[in-house]
Amino acid sequence: MSGIAIRSLAIRTIALSTFGSFLRNKVILLFGSLFVCVVLLMMTPLLGFKAMTNADNAQQMQGFILNEVTIVISMVSGFGSLLAAWAAADSVAGEMKSGTILAVMARPLRRWEFLAGKYLGVLMLMGVYVVSMLGVTLFLAWLGGQSFHASLWTLIVYPLVRYAIWAAIAMLLVTMIHPILAMGAIVIVMTLIEVFASTVNHIPMWLKTPVHLVLPLTGLLSEERFMEITRASVKPFPWTNHLTALAYGLDYALVCFLLAVFVFQRRSLARD
């Protein structure tokens, strides 16, 4: 086997082990169960509206139903971002805290390969999450009597790239600070993005430019840009726009990941 094949086997081994550990992680299982409960709860009013629909109020009820589905999609997206960040932070910090990293890094494995394996493991988890949540959303929309007029690949790739950004940011932060502080910083960044998105026209240029440069523009990677669910219609969206939006997201994630590798390369792996 060539050197590259051996290296890629090592990265895949770390990725699969990380993904396997997520599937056994009690915190993820607990939050997953809670999330399913919330979705089930959201279905109650949805089904209620549907049952109350008659010829006189059909349009109004349809509006309620689509609103419910939009709320679920927003929840899925927000929770997914937090999950991606937490999984990335925990996958690195957990190994360092428990000391399992020592036996792993004693193997002929470079530090960036370890981090790349961990990152791929997180993306595998988020891939499963995106596909599952897409299933839930499609099911809810079907219950509401709507169907998505958008290519399915966009509903998978866009959220995945968004989650890749949050995972890379969390990985960068956790190589420098405690995971709880890292998650606190992530929540602050998410809040700032929301604030800037809603007040973008009131922000002076001197503040807007650095914010655009530093904070990830996750709004660019939102499915809502090309899918208007409240009218169950598709906005015109050329493939070049898809390409630039996704390239922006991947570039942002790559920069954060490379910074994480740079910091991780220099830090102590053992507990002092």
Partner 1 sequence: MATPAIEFSGVNKVYQRRFGGVQVAALSNISFEVARGEVCAFLGPNGAGKTTSMNILMGFIYASSGRSRVFGYEPGDVRAKARIGFLPENFAFYRYLNAEKLLRFHLRLSGRQLPDPAALIAGLLTKVKLDSYKGLKIGKYSRGMVQRLGIAQALLGDPELLVLDEPTSGLDPAGRKEVRDLILALKAEGKTIFLSSHILSEVEQICDRVIIIDRGHMVRSGTMQEMLAEDNRVEIIVDHLPEELELALQERGASVEREAHRVRIAVDVTQKRAVAEMLWAGGCDVISLTPMKSSLEETFLKLVASGGAQ
Q: Which of residues 66 and 125 has its CB atom nearest to partner 1 in the complex?
A: 125
Query: What is the closest distance, in whole angstroms, from the C-beta atom of residue 3 to partner 1 in the complex?
Result: 9
Q: Which of residues 202 and 266 has its CB atom nearest to partner 1 in the complex?
A: 266
**DSSP assignment of 202-259:** GS-HHHHHHHHHHS--GGGG-GGGTEEGGGTEE----HHHHHHHHHHHHHHHHHHHHH
Query: What is the closest distance, in whole angstroms, from the C-beta atom of residue 208 to partner 1 in the complex?
Result: 34
Q: Which of residues 21 and 175 has its CB atom nearest to partner 1 in the complex?
A: 21
CB 140 within 8 A of CB 68: yes
Query: What is the closest distance, in whole angstroms, from the C-beta atom of residue 33 to partner 1 in the complex?
Result: 19
Query: What is the closest distance, in whole angstroms, from the C-beta atom of residue 174 to partner 1 in the complex?
Result: 16
Q: Using CB under 8 A, list all residues that contact partner 1.
A: 1, 6, 9-10, 13-14, 17, 20-21, 24, 98-100, 102-111, 266, 268-270, 272
Q: Which of residues 28 and 221 has its CB atom nearest to partner 1 in the complex?
A: 28
Of 57, 61, 116, the closest CA to residue 92 belongs to 116
CB 171 within 8 A of CB 257: yes
Q: Which of residues 10 and 161 has its CB atom nearest to partner 1 in the complex?
A: 10
Q: Which of residues 118 and 162 has its CB atom nearest to partner 1 in the complex?
A: 118
Where is 193: in which H helix or E strand? helix 179-198
Query: What is the closest distance, in whole angstroms, from the C-beta atom of residue 187 to partner 1 in the complex?
Result: 23
Helix (H, G, I), strand (E, B) or coil at 178: coil
Q: CA geometry: angle at 218 spanning 215 and 222, to 5°? A: 170
Where do we find the tokens 């020592």? 102
Query: What is the closest distance, in whole angstroms, from the C-beta atom of residue 113 to partner 1 in the complex?
Result: 9
